[in-house]
Structure 1
Amino acid sequence: MTALLASVRSADEAFDAAQAGAELIDLKEPGAGALGGVNVDEIARIVGALRARYAVRPISATIGDSPNDALDEITTRVLDVAAAGVDYVKVGVNAGPGAVECLRHLAGLPAAVVPVLLSDEGVDRSLAALAVQLGFVGIVFDTAHKDGRTLFDCVDVTVLAECMAIMRRRGGMTALAGSLGWNDLERIRSLRPDIAGFRGALCDENAGRAGRLDPLRVTRWVNALHGERALTL
């Protein structure tokens, strides 16, 4: 069964998503980029409030968008976000120069880092294989540019499936994100990721990912991912 990760920007959205059935809560500021970071003090406040009501609900948070070679900045952000109490720290890694060094650096940090492999130009097989080899608890396949394309518009699904299978054999989690919507449901189901992540699809359609999260949309997506009939809005 695929679990739903809801990306939220505030405590109110976090509670709405959790009550609506989202299995994972992801703290992210969509107005600050694909992986825009929430203020660390706010992360700590939201985590504390969520833990009081949903003690075992996993929580992740992004560190913000950073280039691969900004290793000192990435380290500081990873450690600060981890110290705020989240279960997983998500870090975007762009394919190309510096990607290998960045992944190796992330693997050595004292935090539960989940690399987000930004796949706008397709899945980088070697980078995905390295992420598996380095022993991360999971990897996310996502897109950096929210330009109307979805993850499936950018990648070869066969290559994506092969990379996910390698991660599964090592016992790690796989997650898909990247402007996914109802038209992508059957492909998500066929690939069977452990997690599917959403922002825009959970918000009012007129506002997109910058809008307010709608709990009803969260519930409908949870039901669809769990194999129940998908009801569109």
Structure 2
Amino acid sequence: MNLSGQGRMRMLVSVRTVEEALLAAKGGADFIDLKEPRAGALGGLPTGLLRDIVQSLRAVGSTLPISATIGDLPIEHLPAVMAQVHAVAACGVDIVKVGITRTAEPATACRALDALAASGHAIVPVFIADQGVEPQVLAHAAALGPALAGVMVDTQDKRAGSLFDVMTDDALRQLVGVLRAAGRPVGLAGALRLRHLPALAALAPDFAGFRSAVCVGDRGAALDAGCLHALRQALSAH
């Protein structure tokens, strides 16, 4: 699974229902991301619903890459994490996303990354940036190379603001640089809205993840076609 933007920033849209997934696919998303936004940064959907969404997208001829989260499971509980990785992958998604928080000891997080890289699935570790990103763990993820499909950064507490409120531009630039130097596709997310597009364009990630920007009001509201269209147009302009 190639997540490289190949010179343009691609749009990942998070959805939680069949209807939202079809709307996102029709509205110009480059990736469809399956999650429950009301259950945390990586809130997971039931496996039955994951299968339904995948089958519905494929039934209408969509070939867009589909990712899904495993839920907000502590990476320290590696057996439970790996069991959920396999269960989510079995639903037919192309990419499985797994959260990496700084609360885990670096050695523990690195061992988890090794296990994820050896899982046989296309894995994207998602570094939760609220408490910063541990450089040692990020470097380890970068060093795993193509064993990981890519690396993403997101935020947990959306009420605290966007990714740009949690991390400085310099820190984000350095993070993207580390991953780019290792040839790893990189994605950025975290309560991103239209006003953040110039800053995103300056960082030039391979893809950016959106939920807040495509809902009217709270990110827990339903996906909105007008917001989706506005975001697609704005991204194309950048």
Cα deviation 1:51-95 (Å, max 9, x = unaligned) = 122442110000000112111111111001111111100000101
Q: Select which of 124, 143, 146 maps to 2:158.
A: 146
Question: In 2, are the aligned partners of 1:34 and 1:65 still within 8 Å (CA)?
Answer: yes
Q: Select which of 140, 144, 151 maps to 1:130.
A: 140
Distance 1:145 1:105 in 2: 27
The alignment partner of 2:160 has SS state of coil
Distance 1:129 1:157 in 2: 19
| 2:67 matched residue in structure 1 | 60
Once the two structures are superposed, the pairs formed by residues 19-168 of structure 1 within 5 Å of their partners are: 19-96=26-103, 97=105, 98-135=108-145, 136-168=148-180
Identity %: 41
TM value normalised by structure 1: 0.92
Question: In 1, are the aligned partners of 2:41 and 2:154 still within 8 Å (CA)?
Answer: no
The alignment partner of 2:113 has SS state of helix
Q: How far has the Cα of 1:137 moved from its partner? A: 1.6
Distance 1:26 1:120 in 2: 21
Question: In 2, are the aligned partners of 1:121 and 1:155 still within 8 Å (CA)?
Answer: no
Structure 2 unaligned runs (5+)?
Answer: 1-7
TM value normalised by structure 2: 0.90
Cα deviation 1:136-170 (Å, max 9, x = unaligned) = 12111111112231111111322222221232233
Q: Select which of 180, 190, 199 maps to 1:178.
A: 190
Distance 1:54 1:222 in 2: 21
Q: How far has the Cα of 1:182 moved from its partner? A: 2.4
Q: How many residues matched?
A: 226
